[in-house]
């Protein structure tokens, strides 16, 4: 489908972009990394790819997703597109909602328009978020031990499906939700070969996590450094976690099946079998690093979900994909990577726009 053209990855020096680029390069594909390098750690990710594969295969284009002129140069050469560039934190969106909208919604619309101008638009995979479902109002929960459990037996067994009503909450939820809907509509209205992943919690190497985004890596970094962990709420909130290499497999499967998947959105995460509460993750870290982190608690934050687990059955049925990396194995891989870093100097104190 790419016709030998490179794959364009916006936000390509970030956590997911770096892992995807490495896989594509190992498979013999060239890549264009489009990134403004504003987030701590990502310049090192880009340098590592350039050193490993060379500038003849890795083209780094430094630019903002809102810069139409620069972005057009990258889009012109792309054989397929993975759109990850975004403002990624709810807290930052509450502080700077206009900037959040410009990056996430306007930036995505700019990319869509550039793709639409191509005579044969390349296939696009856009990463959205589970925050498009808001706080999951009306989903009754009960607390069992150290985690929340849905009263609805189907949700308890499989997670939240794509049939859940959209309920954008927080500026971040609104901006990503708007982008999500624009991608789907450009597929319907203009025939753009595009699909959407509404993602849960992804973790793995090259992730410089913070309290706001990438919490699994943030917990591990903080625990290894011997610093206290801050949990907002009671720690019984549940998420499904997905190792980044399993996510990359899902992305490649989506590109292969794009003619059938165009115009559809899929909930992507580890699913019910890879769900965990924040308190249970602390226990895993205790076993992993040999000492139990000190945990501090703070009030619930706005727009936090007490429970979110992805129902991935639709994507599994469409492609045959399923995650294969256990939480224990994935955490060990992430830990081995962090041991090669100084976590406190590598982890950003604030979330920047990627």
Domain range annotation of the chain:
7-346
In whole angstroms, give the CA distance from residue 122 to residue 5.
Answer: 10
- What is the reported pLDDT for 257? 98
- What is the reported pLDDT for 342? 56
Residue 113 has pLDDT above 80, yes or no: yes
Q: Which residues partner with 194 through β-bridges?
A: 124
Residue 351 has pLDDT above 90, yes or no: no
Please give the model's pTM, rounded to 2 decimal places.
0.93
Provide the Cα torsion 4, 10, 13, 14; round to 10°. Answer: -130
In whole angstroms, give the CA distance from residue 171 to residue 91.
Answer: 9
The yes-or-no answer on residue 34 being catalytic is no
In whole angstroms, give the CA distance from residue 39 to residue 348.
Answer: 7
Six-digit token string for 341? 């870093």
Q: What average pLDDT is seen over the chain?
A: 93
**Number of neighbouring beta carbons within 10 Å of residue 249:** 18
Answer whether CATH 1.10.287.3510 is correct for domain 7-346.
Answer: no
β-bridge pairing 124-129 and 80-83: parallel
Six-digit token string for 333? 């891989």
- What is the reported pLDDT for 352? 26
Residue 198 has pLDDT above 60, yes or no: yes
Nearest to 197 by CA among 26, 317, 314: 314
What does the pLDDT look like over 2-14, one tens digit per residue? 668 999 999 999 9
- Percent of the chain surpassing pLDDT 70: 95
| Element at 197 (helix H, strand E) | strand 194-199
- DSSP output for 40-92: TTHHHHHHHHHHHH-TTTEEEEE--TT-HHHHHHHHHH-SEEEE------HHH
Catalytic: which of 133, 172, 186, 203? 172
How much is the CA Rg of the chain, to the nearest whole Å? 19
What does the pLDDT look like over 129-164, one tens digit per residue? 999 999 998 999 999 999 999 999 999 999 999 999
Residue 55 has pLDDT above 70, yes or no: yes
């Amino acid at each position: 489908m790419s016709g030998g053209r490179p794959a364009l990855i916006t936000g390509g020096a970030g956590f997911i972009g770096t892992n995807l680029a490495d896989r594509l390069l190992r498979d013999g594909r060239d890549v264009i990394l489009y990134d403004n390098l504003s987030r701590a750690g990502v310049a090192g990710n880009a340098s590592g790819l350039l050193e490993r594969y060379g500038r003849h295969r890795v083209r780094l284009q430094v630019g903002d997703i809102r810069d139409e002129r620069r972005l057009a140069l990258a889009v012109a050469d792309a054989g397929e597109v993975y759109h990850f560039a975004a403002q990624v934190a709810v807290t930052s969106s509450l502080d700077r909602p206009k900037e959040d909208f410009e990056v996430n919604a306007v930036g995505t619309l700019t990319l869509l328009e550039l793709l639409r101008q191509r005579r044969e638009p390349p296939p696009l995979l856009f990463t959205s978020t589970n925050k498009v479902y808001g706080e999951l109002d009306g989903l009754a929960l009960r607390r069992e031990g150290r985690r929340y459990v849905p009263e609805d037996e189907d949700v308890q067994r499989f997670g939240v499906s794509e049939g859940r009503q959209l309920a954008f909450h927080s500026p971040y939820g609104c901006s990503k939700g708007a982008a999500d809907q624009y991608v789907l509509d450009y597929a319907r209205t203009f025939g753009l070969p595009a699909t959407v992943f509404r993602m849960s919690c992804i973790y793995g190497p090259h992730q410089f996590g913070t309290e706001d985004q990438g919490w699994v890596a943030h917990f591990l970094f903080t625990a290894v450094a011997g610093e206290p962990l801050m949990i907002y709420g009671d720690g019984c909130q549940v998420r499904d976690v997905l190792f980044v290499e399993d996510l990359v497999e899902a992305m490649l499967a989506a590109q292969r099946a794009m003619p059938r998947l165009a115009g559809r959105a899929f909930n992507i995460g580890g699913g019910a079998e890879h769900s965990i509460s924040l308190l249970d993750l602390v226990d895993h870290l205790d076993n992993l690093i040999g000492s139990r982190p000190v945990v501090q608690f703070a009030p619930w934050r706005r727009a936090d979900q007490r429970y979110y687990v992805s129902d991935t059955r639709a994507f599994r049925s469409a492609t045959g994909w399923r995650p294969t990396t256990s939480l224990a194995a994935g955490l060990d891989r992430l830990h081995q990577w962090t041991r090669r870093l100084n976590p406190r100097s590598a982890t950003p104190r604030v979330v920047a726009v990627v």
